[in-house]
Amino acid sequence: MAKKKFKDLSSGQKKGFGALAGVQFLLAGAALRDLKKRPKDQIRGSRGWWMAACGINFAGPIAYFLFGRRSA
């Protein structure tokens, strides 16, 4: 079976892909912005590692928001 290319997807599938990509970029952007503004003592672990983790699809930013921040 041949691998599907983006141009072979239906318009609904393309819209769904676009929506998921948009959510991913918003999540990563929000996490990176929070990392930049948050004081170092309120971050669990290394700021650099969390920035790298934000590049991992949905899992990185969600993990940062769930486990990477300390309450003020």
Note the pTM of the prediction, 2 decimals: 0.82
Q: Is the pLDDT of residue 4 over 90?
A: no
Domain range annotation of the chain: 19-68
The sign of the CA dihedral 47, 50, 52, 54 is negative
Q: What would the pLDDT profile of 30-67 be if each residue is shown by its tens digit? A: 999 999 999 999 999 999 999 999 999 899 999 999 99
Q: Which backbone phi and psi does 68 adopt, to 5 degrees?
A: -90, -15
